[in-house]
Amino acid sequence: MSPSYRFVVTGRVQGVGFRALAQGKALFLGLRGWVRNRADGAVEGLVGGDNAADIQTFHDFLLKGSPAAQVERLEWSATSEQAEEGFLVKR
């Protein structure tokens, strides 16, 4: 069972390409999971994978986001929920 993490990113993270770039980064790193916008303006998701360094790279990406984003906070916590194959942008 691979480690999985739930995350919530707050700040200016909607309407700036954040989800698409997160998806691309996760797929490039071979990670699994999903990402979506929340009604409160945050972006949330689930990420999992077998390589701790790749998960850390994704975590570090979330701290910066897309070039137009302004990340104010990243909440990151381990979860027993398992990420399915692929990395989806949910609506």
pLDDT above 80 for 1: no
pLDDT above 90 for 91: no
CA–CA distance, 51 with 17 (Å, rounded to integer): 26
37 catalytically annotated:
yes
Q: Which of 6, 19, 32, 91 is catalytic?
A: 19
Cα–Cα–Cα angle for 70, 76, 81, rounded to 5 degrees: 130
- Written as one letter, the residue type at 84 is E
Confidence band for 16, pLDDT divided at 50, 70 and 90: very high
Q: Dump pLDDT digits (tens) for 17-35.
A: 999 999 999 999 999 999 9
Q: What is the mean pLDDT of residues 3-14?
A: 97
20 CB-near residues (< 8 Å, 6+ apart): 66, 89
pLDDT confidence of residue 6: 98
Q: pTM (2 decimals)?
A: 0.95
Domains defined along the chain, listed by start: 4-84 (3.30.70.100)
Q: Which of 6, 12, 36, 37 is catalytic?
A: 37
pLDDT confidence of residue 55: 97
- C-alpha 63, offset from chain centre: 10
